[in-house]
Structure formats: structure tokens, C-alpha cells
């Protein structure tokens, strides 16, 4: 099956990554548990607007924040196992222009077994059998535009249940959904 996989918040720990840089540069003590809303990039920082956050995050030690992120434990291994079972891993991610090259390098460096990589706003434009995403603005569109597909919401503090989406809390849970469908 074609598995449409989001990166940030699903495979890559975006929150922990940006917070580490922010704490180091601004002397704060933010931790992942502090982030409970999608807008916390501004709400928890001194930035007055999201554009200020993106400008800051575009050059952290010569790379964007996305280059520096660590994968969540077990995420990459789960994707490799699913690919070894014959499933196609289709990366569906949204990125600012400054982060595109860093994203490709991140995928390569972490040996994500991607059959395709799409850097795209409207992820539903890429046909997949199963989707895995955490974006509260993405999930309703996937459910609406891909009713024949299974949409999995990776449960995070910043998203809520979406009618028509299947909740998963780990890659183990996602793998179970894929195995049931296969």
C-alpha cells in the first residue's frame, strides 16, 4: 500500500528541536510538555508573529531548524519495517522554501525509505491508501478529499479528534492499522 507519512511531529521531533535552540539562544527552559497548541511557536516565545519565528529558525548553526531535528524513537525503524513488507513510504510534508534542501538531506541522513517525497500544502492531492499526520489543519482535508483512504491522526496535544480519522498514539499503533488493512 501507499502510506502517506508526515514528517514534523510524526517522524521528526520538531517541538523538541526548536525548543533546544530557543532555550540555548534566549536562556529559557521550555520543554516539550509546554507545547499544547499549534500556535505555540509564537505563544511560548518572544516572537510577535510566525514569520519572525520562521526567520529565526531558517539559520541555526548554518542550517534550518529542520536539518537539526531528531527522529522520534522507533519512527524510522517502523518505516523501514513497513517498506521491507512491500509498502511504499510516501513522504508528505509542508516546509518553508528555506527548508526544502535541508529536508531532503534530513531524509537521506536518517535513511527514511521514501519511495516519493512531496513538499506540499494540500497533502490530499497525493493519492495514498493510508495517511499519517498530526496537523489539525491537514487532517480534515484528508478526510474530506480522500474518503476512500484511511486517515490516521497521530494524537498530539495540539490536535483534536477528527470525525472520520483513526487515532493512533504510536508507530506501533499505526503499523497495526496498516497490517489490518493489508
Tell which CATH architecture fits domain 2-13+69-181.
Answer: 3-Layer(aba) Sandwich (3.40)
pLDDT in tens, 10-63: 999 999 999 999 999 999 999 999 999 988 999 999 999 999 999 999 999 999
Instruction: In the chain, list all ranges with CATH 3.40.50.1000.
Output: 2-13+69-181
Closest CA to 32 of 157, 171, 139, 172: 157
Its pTM surpasses 0.85 = yes
pLDDT at 116: 98
Instruction: Read off the pLDDT band of 149 (50, 70, 90).
Output: very high
For 6, 18, 25, 132, 172, the CA distances from 75, given in Å and listed in that order, are 11, 19, 29, 12, 9
For 125, 126, 153, 182, the CA distances from 4, given in Å and listed in that order, are 11, 8, 12, 15
Amino acid at each position: 500500500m501507499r502510506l502517506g507519512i508526515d514528517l514534523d511531529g510524526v517522524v521528526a521531533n520538531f517541538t523538541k528541536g526548536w525548543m533546544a535552540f530557543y532555550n540555548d539562544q534566549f536562556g529559557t527552559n521550555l520543554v516539550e510538555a509546554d507545547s499544547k497548541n499549534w500556535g505555540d511557536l509564537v505563544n511560548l516565545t518572544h516572537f510577535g508573529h510566525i514569520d519572525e519565528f520562521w526567520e529565526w529558525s531558517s539559520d541555526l548553526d548554518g542550517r534550518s531548524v529542520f536539518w537539526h531535528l531528531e527522529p522520534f524513537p522507533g519512527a524510522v525503524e517502523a518505516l523501514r519495517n513497513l517498506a521491507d513488507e512491500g509498502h511504499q513510504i510516501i513522504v508528505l510534508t509542508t516546509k518553508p522554501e528555506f527548508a526544502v534542501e535541508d529536508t531532503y538531506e534530513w531524509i537521506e541522513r536518517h535513511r527514511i525509505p521514501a519511495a516519493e517525497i512531496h513538499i506540499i500544502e494540500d497533502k490530499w492531492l497525493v493519492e495514498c491508501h493510508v495517511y499519517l499526520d498530526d496537523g489539525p489543519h491537514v487532517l480534515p482535508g484528508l478526510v474530506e478529499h480522500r474518503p476512500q483512504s484511511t486517515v490516521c491522526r497521530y494524537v498530539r496535544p495540539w490536535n483534536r479528534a477528527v470525525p472520520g480519522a483513526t487515532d493512533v498514539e504510536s508507530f506501533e499503533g499505526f503499523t497495526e492499522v496498516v497490517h489490518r488493512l493489508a
